[in-house]
Structure 1
Amino acid sequence: LNPYMVELVCQSKIKTLATLYQNKVKIPKTVYVPCNVNEMEVGTGTRNYSNLISNLITRNLGAGRVVLKPDAGTHGRQVKLVQNEKELDESLKEVETSIINPAGVLAQEFIPKWFFDLRIIVEKQRGENAYCQPQALARGGFKEFRTNTFLGNMVFRANLPPIVQKEAVRCGEALAGDEVSWVIALDAMPNIGEDVSVDEQEIRKHFMQLDKPFEEVLKVKSDPMKKIDFPSYSMKIEDAYHSYMATEAYSQIQKVIDENLVKKQDSVVFHEGNACPEFWEQTRIVAGVNVADSILNSALSILEGE
């Protein structure tokens, strides 16, 4: 769906972060150790480097909360939050090479994003300037620190301040390089910390009120017949999402998200790019951004320019 070089950069968190850092885009403090925890050495067998890796991570990121993640993971798989040096040592023992973690250890500082993060769509058509969709998908909840929708977290429409849109465009242009046409979904987090705008207990109460309407959404999504009768499924899922979004609890959470994005618009950090976007129904229905249109317009601009 995207040029090869865009796909190549975005499929690796390490390449993505290095590219963003080189282009002065705000990213979480990151440590990448190319050495595996357990290395096979000629004549001596397997050697464990967990202590050395742990010391390197702690020296650069501190002894507090640190996030470990695989280089090519998706849906929050194998992403771990460790609270201290002891947990870091224990978690490193479980890090192994795999198809989603070909080599080494990737660690990042923990960004206190409160209860949500962002998926932002940035696109470019041939002959046009890169453009950031002004509305993004906010993914949130208090289940755990991972807010991936794959893990059952709720979704909200977020209105991006112009400063965040501008930074997202810089991020997309950095990842795309000299390519003339592309569509990239960026993952970003607001660094909110303790500076929250409302009582967290109120937000938690609103999430509890949304449990039932969001369960209806999940019920429709799990329908085994959806691929057989897709038109019917499309109508049902839109109705379910619209009912969920029409609630007062949804409105209150969305308001808090927008308020905090304005308040922390200079503190949004970008950490991942996705160059293989699906025709996300959540992005289309909830955020109001039809990624299929973006992809088709991007492709047509290339054909029309030849």
Structure 2
Amino acid sequence: MTLDHYRGDRLTQAQTWAGLPDDELRRRAVQAAGEKDVDGLIALTQAYLTHEGASGLLTSPRTVEAYTLGVRQFLDHATSNAVNLLRPGRRDASSYVAAMLSAGRKPAGVQLKVAAANCLYRALRWAGATEADPFKDVKIPKDRTLGIVKRPPYQEDELADVLDHADVHVKFLLFLTAHAGLRISEALALTWEDLDEANRRVHVRSGKGRKERLVAMSTSLARATRHYRGLYAPGGPEHTDGKRTTPRDRVFRYASPMTARYHLDKAFQVAGVKFRGFHPGRKYAGTRLLQQVKDFGRVAAHLGHESIDTTRKGYAKLATDDLKDDLVGW
């Protein structure tokens, strides 16, 4: 219900732009760009995403949030450097990239910010305000360091220490991320019927790209699920995190990733382990599973990756001497 309400609000907001006659849409977009009206240009970009984006109204809230922040940051740069948004210079886009790199931002982060700025220009072209496409040929250096090297998985001992100090909710969430390899958004969206501990399966209905998948449970996760269900099965009061209330059929009381992060961070602090986010848990799942099955395709399926390259570069690695047993007798 919360997501439907959000989508309804977003559609209504988008209509304030999309519902305009062509001439008026163009006039307002030109005015917003000329004045560098941050709120107006963000609203225009969101309207474009809702009506013309690849996922339309189903664009995830996190994507909308990331693009909103990126557009805001590009407009700050454009204001500080007197960039004419409707008639940008040939070097304005590359100058923006250079400024971000000079400030220490990593290539992957620069790529995300450029994607947001590019979306702003698609929105301006959609509105008929300009034909400019300044980021079309911009070059961004590639980061050759694998993601799993830059941001490694949690270690077995680290997770064991946290589990020793965590409450039931945190323990169960850790098992879902570090054993089932779920994204935090996937874990928080689970309902009780998605958990099948008897057959050791988790039904993920809200995966990335709106893709469903069945994920195998480890023995420890199945045991933790039975215990968690016995404590918090349906029939009790609605969960609340102090700000928002989650439906009774939802597995977790955490209504948002921010709330989950707060509770996990506290548990990690008590255990004396640095909390590095949710993804190192997924990377632990990927790396441990790969060491057992030696198959990137199966690991990619477990983590919900469309491409095994994503798994290979950022989520799982084999030991450097992994082949030594296979080479015995050569």
TM-score, normalization by structure 2: 0.28
Higher helix share: 2
TM-score, normalization by structure 1: 0.29
Higher strand share: 1
Q: Which has the larger radius of gyration?
A: 2
